[in-house]
Amino acid sequence: MDEKGFMLGILQATKRYFTGSEFAQGRLKGCGQDGNREWVTVIASICQNMTALPPLVIYAAAINNIHDTWVEELRTTEREIYITTSPTGWTNDDLGFEWLTTIFDPHTKEQASNGLRWRLLFVDGHSSHLNMRFIDWCGQNRILLMAYPPHSTHRLQPLDVSLFNPLANFYSQNLNTWMQKSAGIANMSKRYFYELFWPAWQRAFTKNNIQSGWKKTGLYPFNPSEILDQLTIPGPRPPSNTSSTSTIPPNDWKRIDKALKDVVGPIVDRSTQQLQKSIDNLCASHQLQAVRIQALEEQIELQKRANPRGRGLFDELRQRQDNKAFIFSPKKIQEAKQLQAERDQAKEDEAARIKQKKLEQALKKATKEREMAERREARVIARQERERAKERAKELRAEAREQKAAEKQLQNEAKSIKRSRAKSSAKAASKQDTTKVVELSSNVDGAVLARSRRSRSIKPPQRFND
């Protein structure tokens, strides 16, 4: 087993052929790439029966915080792949132990007579699979550990020799094709990694490549000469008085040229010139690789501090596992999707219930407002009726007053006519009485008669006339 790291949006360096004139004219253009340096680690395992165990993909995110968009394209019935997360996107002690118990043991136990026979596991010196918990569990379950010497996996590890390089090339090709199709509109992220990675995995981890890896490392069939023939015996180190250090740094070109001239003499023949040119190329390549590695280390440090966002998928499963780091198998992914679908349905039902409740409250409020409006309208109508009744009563009282005034006026006119008639009658009677008096006193002397003519008649009081 071994780990392979991917930067999501970085293409792998490839060789290109071009003419010197194109390079001088500046007509060469670099390959476009997304540039997303977010880290994803893949733990791969192969067996000597020329099969591969399901890969474990480790995304950079909070522990067990897998988003649903990262596994949208995953079909658990067709493909077997395991998903997990770590804060840096790298493996750690917990994930290494989970890989051992969740992936390696179940998938290899049947080949070892259900754990009755011993199994041999080749690992490198990484602490995620060389710690006491990992080693003790292997000893208790009949698993022998074989650790590679430091700085030797590039020759001794079958995955590094024959599988990881084509895997990186195929992923880079898929990424390049994807960027051409997206035309720069979509940015590369973890949600697109799986659909690019899985085809590359199927193309790289074939039976022929696995067999080539075992053979080139001399492990199966066992052939140590495959490695020993590639090694050269180093010459004696220079004396301490001729060099301040035991070896010459690969970027110290002047010292390398001087050492070459001291050994072979003046550079005259063609083979010596080619040797010097090869040394210069190797020094330049080493310097470029050093700069690239330094840049990658800086990006990794930045990536460690990145805060992932998004919607978690496995909340229920995390609660069941007491928030411990664990690996999501295809079955768990399907279960989590089902749980999420049920949770989403419950949320939709709750939202529908709340919406229905709001509608009922709105309807109740509208009904109440309508009833209040009807009551207000009824009160307005009643008030208008009362006002009209008051106006009618006022008109009736005015009519009554007018009628009473008319009757009183008629009475007054009748009384006036009656008084006028009484006055006329009294005047006529008084005149008649006066005539009689004149006639009776006609024989009186002139003075008495003159005085009686000047005198006025006596009028009776008005009450006697009525």
Q: Where in the chain is the domain with CATH 3.30.420?
A: 2-240+306-328
d(CA 88, CA 301): 9
Q: What are phi and psi of 222, to 5 degrees?
A: -65, 120
- Place 235 in a pLDDT band, splitting at 50, 70 and 90: low
Residue from 170, 167, 192 nearest 181 by CA: 192
d(CA 198, CA 78): 12
Mean pLDDT for the stretch of residues 401-430:
86
Burial level of 396, CB count in 10 A (0-12/13-18/19+)? exposed
The distance of Cα 217 from the centroid of its chain, to the nearest Å, equals 47
Q: Which tens digit of pLDDT belongs to each residue from 176-188?
A: 888 888 776 777 8
Instruction: Establish how many alpha carbons lie within 13 A of residue 171's alpha carbon, considering only the half-sphere containing its beta carbon.
Output: 26
State the pLDDT at residue 243. Answer: 43
d(CA 29, CA 33): 12
The residues with which 4 forms a beta bridge, in sequence order, are 42
Determine what percent of the chain is predicted with pLDDT higher than 70: 76
Cβ(342)–Cβ(334) below 8 Å: no
CB contact burial 240-276 (16+ within 10 A = b; e otherwise): eeeeeeeeeebeeeeebeebeeeeeeeeeeeebeeeb
Pairing relationship of beta strands 56-60 and 2-7 according to DSSP bridges: unpaired
d(CA 99, CA 134): 10
> Which CATH architecture is the domain 2-240+306-328 placed in?
2-Layer Sandwich (3.30)
Its pTM stands at 0.57
Q: Is the pLDDT score of 246 beyond 50?
A: no
State the pLDDT at residue 307. Answer: 45
Q: Which tens digit of pLDDT belongs to each residue from 41-82?
A: 999 999 999 999 999 999 998 877 788 778 777 765 556 889
Q: Which tens digit of pLDDT belongs to each residue from 11-44?
A: 777 777 778 887 788 777 766 777 778 889 999 9
Burial level of 335, CB count in 10 A (0-12/13-18/19+)? middle
Mean pLDDT rounded to a whole number for the chain? 80
d(CA 289, CA 218): 29
* Helix (H) or strand (E) run with residue 359 in it: helix 330-440
d(CA 184, CA 191): 16
State the pLDDT at residue 12. Answer: 75
Higher pLDDT among residues 447 and 166, named by residue:
166
Q: Which tens digit of pLDDT belongs to each residue from 260-313?
A: 667 666 655 666 677 777 777 887 788 888 877 876 776 676 555 444 454 555
State the pLDDT at residue 44. Answer: 96
- Point out the least confidently predicted range of 94-103, 194-203, 271-280, 296-305: 296-305
Q: Which tens digit of pLDDT belongs to each residue from 318-332?
A: 554 455 666 777 677
Determine what percent of the chain is predicted with pLDDT higher than 90: 32
